[in-house]
Structures are given as C-alpha cells and as structure tokens.
C-alpha cells in the first residue's frame, strides 16, 4: 500500500488524525504535510514522514504527494481563498497519482440552507471539484467542535452566564479528537468511494442545554439568554473583537438558529465502535471542569 498523507498535520485536527493512524497501525505508512519545520518536529519524533508544501504552491504539493495513495485533506482556514487552495490540493493529488482524497467540510442539512459565510460555499465548491476530479473521494461532514465552545459562549460564561444569538436552535457537537479518530478508521479501512459521512455525537443540543450541562457540572446556576445577532455583534465590538471574527461567529449562530445543524447520525458511533462523548463529557473537557 502507498502512504496515507494527512494535510494540516501541525494543526489540531490533522495532528489528531496522524496520532490516531499511528495508534491504529504502522507509523511507517503515514506522512504529514507541514509548512513549518519546527512545528513538524513532533511528527518526526512519532516516526511519521514529513512532507513540505503549502496549499498555495501547486508544484510543491505535486512533489509532496508522490507515492501517496490516500490523502486526508484538512480544509483551509476560513477568511482565505479556500476554493483555490483546495483546487491545488485536488489537482496535485490527481497529477501525483493519488487514489483517494478525503475532505473535511462542515455539516449542512442541504445546499440551500447554508448560511455560514466563507465556509459553506467553499465546501460545496470543493465537493464539486472532487466529483469532477475522477479521483475516489469521501466527504466527512463535521459539526461545530465542542472544543471551541468556550470561544463561542465566552470565557466568562461559567462565572456570569452567557448570551448568544442561537434562539432555540440545536446542534450535535463532537470533539475534534473523536472526529479525527473516525477519519483514521476510514483511512485504514480504505473508505468506500464517492460517499459522505455525517459525523456527530448523535444527539442535538440547544444552548439552553449547554447552560444546563454547565450548571450541573459546576453546581452553579448558569444562564443562557437568546439575543439578536445585532446585540451579539455590539457586545463583541465592545470587547474589542475584530469585526470579521464577530461576524463569522454570528454566522455560525445564525445557521444554528435556522436549524442548519439539526440533523444527527450514527456514522461517528459506527466508525468509533462506541458511543461518542455526550454533552457532559464534551463540556467537561472543553471547559477543563
Ligand atoms: N468544525 C469546526 O468547529 C471547526 C473549528 C475550527 C476550524 N475548522 C476547520 O477545520 C480546519 C482544521 O481545524 P484545526 O482546528 O485543526 O485548525 P488549526 O489547528 O489551525 O490547523 C490548521 C492546519 O492547516 C495548516 N494550513 C493552514 N493553511 C495552510 C496552507 N495554506 N497550506 C498548507 N497547510 C495549511 C496549518 O499549518 P500551520 O501549522 O503551518 O499553520 C495547520 O496545520 C480549519 O482549517 C477550519 O477550516 C472547523
């Protein structure tokens, strides 16, 4: 078998995929794509080969993908030219003779209900590029990482409760470590081509549920107040957030309120072979409780 290459291997998700691949099999058939030698040192220490390349550098990607059979493509950061970067990865994979590309996008109910600026449109475009590429591909649809809840509801939520523009919208969270583990299972199994997996906890929770879960864990009454998007943006502006970041998070909340994430699946449970972490465990880890 050729190598399994994980992009974004110096980041949270990609690194967790590499770690899961090493735990599930041989480090010798795993490679990580990196662009920073210092950040890549822990990969080498794990026995994983490091290949260098940037999503913006097509030629470097073609070189990095030589001898690779399967790629786990971590999506490029929002607020960048994600479609062009993903196109480089897909075109380079085809040029280098890669068999299968696995893309990590964000969960969505359908292509019409896709309100997250800078993310959903590029997910749809990337899926179309994969369909047209002739490569075998798999799309892994991820929910909001539970790990990022403290950033969403504010570090002060435990002390003072929180307000957010999510109404009664519900979202089935998951932690990136379990999403990574499921991806590694599929990479090791040789995932079926041309299908997508909806990876989430299997239970949808509202932000009132989050407040109630935090109250149970801390023994304090933690409140959730649904507010308007405009009020959320004004509050973040007062705290000095960059406006584009506040608008981005407001976009996620608007999607949650609109029901764009209110869809569960047992795909994650099936791949892990156990029930994914549920709300209390996810909150405990995310808030260090
Ligand atoms: N579902 C969610 O809730 C959620 C939350 C956060 C992010 N995301 C998405 O999922 C992706 C992974 O999340 P994460 O938390 O693992 O992000 P992260 O920790 O910031 O890692 C991103 C990785 O991508 C690499 N990278 C960024 N731009 C690149 C480029 N132009 N060429 C090559 N590599 C590049 C980074 O390399 P360096 O280490 O060199 O910077 C890093 O290894 C994000 O990029 C974002 O699209 C989803």
Structural domains in the chain? 3-143+173-201+263-276 (3.40.50.720)
pLDDT of residue 114: 60
| Ligand 1 pocket, residue 13 CB under 6 Å | yes
| Ligand 1 pocket, residue 39 CB under 6 Å | yes
Interatomic CA distance for residues 266 and 281, integer angstroms: 18
CB 213 within 8 A of CB 158: no
| Ligand 1 pocket, residue 88 CB under 6 Å | no
> Nearest C-alpha to atom 11 of ligand 1 is from which residue?
75
CA distances in angstroms from 150 to 14, 210, 223, 262, listed in the order given = 21, 11, 15, 21
CA atoms within 13 A on the CB side of 271: 28
| Ligand 1 pocket, residue 57 CB under 6 Å | no
Instruction: Tell me how many degrees the CA angle 12-151-166 measures, rounded to the nearest 5.
Output: 120
Q: Among residues 199, 185, 170, which one has the least CA distance to residue 276? A: 199
CA distances in angstroms from 261 to 21, 96, 199, 264, 285, listed in the order given = 28, 36, 11, 8, 22
Ligand 1 pocket check: which of 9, 11, 72, 145 to mutate, most ligand atoms within 8 Å of Cβ?
A: 11
* Model pLDDT for residues 72-104, shown as the tens digit of each residue: 999 999 888 999 999 999 999 999 999 999 999
The residue behind tokens 């089935």 is: 172
Interatomic CA distance for residues 183 and 178, integer angstroms: 9
| Ligand 1 pocket, residue 85 CB under 6 Å | yes
pTM of the predicted model, to two decimals?
0.97
Atom of ligand 1 nearest to the CA of 14: 16
| Ligand 1 pocket, residue 286 CB under 6 Å | no
- Residues constituting the chain: 289
> Nearest C-alpha to atom 23 of ligand 1 is from which residue?
8
> Nearest C-alpha to atom 13 of ligand 1 is from which residue?
13
pLDDT of residue 163: 98
Interatomic CA distance for residues 241 and 143, integer angstroms: 24
Question: Which stretches in the chain have pLDDT values below 70?
Answer: 110-115
pLDDT of residue 226: 98
| Ligand 1 pocket, residue 42 CB under 6 Å | no
Q: Among residues 51, 155, 137, 143, which one has the least CA distance to residue 100? A: 137
pLDDT of residue 78: 86
Atom of ligand 1 nearest to the CA of 12: 16
pLDDT of residue 74: 98
């Amino acid at each position: 078998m050729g190598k399994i290459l994980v992009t974004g291997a110096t980041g949270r998700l990609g690194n967790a995929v590499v770690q899961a691949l090493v735990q599930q099999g041989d480090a010798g058939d795993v490679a990580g794509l990196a662009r920073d030698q210092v950040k890549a040192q822990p990969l080498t220490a794990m026995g994983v080969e490091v290949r260098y390349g940037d999503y913006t550098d097509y030629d470097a990607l073609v070189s990095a993908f030589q001898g690779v059979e399967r790629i786990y493509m971590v999506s490029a950061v929002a607020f960048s030219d994600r479609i062009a970067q993903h196109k480089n990865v897909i075109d380079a994979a085809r040029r280098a003779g890669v068999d299968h590309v696995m893309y990590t996008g964000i969960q969505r109910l359908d292509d019409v209900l896709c309100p997250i600026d800078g993310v959903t449109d590029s997910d749809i475009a990337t899926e179309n590029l994969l369909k047209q590429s002739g490569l075998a591909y798999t799309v892994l649809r991820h929910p909001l990482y539970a790990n990022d809840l403290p950033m969403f509801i504010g570090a002060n939520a435990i002390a003072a409760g929180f307000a957010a523009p999510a109404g009664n919208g519900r979202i089935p969270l998951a932690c990136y470590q379990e999403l990574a583990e499921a991806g590694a299972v599929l990479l090791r199994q040789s995932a079926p081509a041309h299908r997508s997996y909806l990876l989430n906890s299997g239970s949808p929770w509202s932000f009132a549920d989050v407040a109630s879960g935090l109250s149970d864990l801390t023994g304090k009454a933690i409140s959730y107040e649904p507010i308007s998007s405009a009020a959320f943006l004004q509050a973040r502006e007062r705290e000095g957030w960059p406006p584009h970041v506040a608008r981005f998070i407001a976009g996620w909340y608007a999607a949650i309120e609109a029901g764009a994430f209110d869809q569960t699946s047992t795909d994650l449970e099936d791949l892990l072979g156990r029930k994914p972490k549920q709300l209390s465990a996810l909150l405990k880890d995310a808030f260090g409780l």
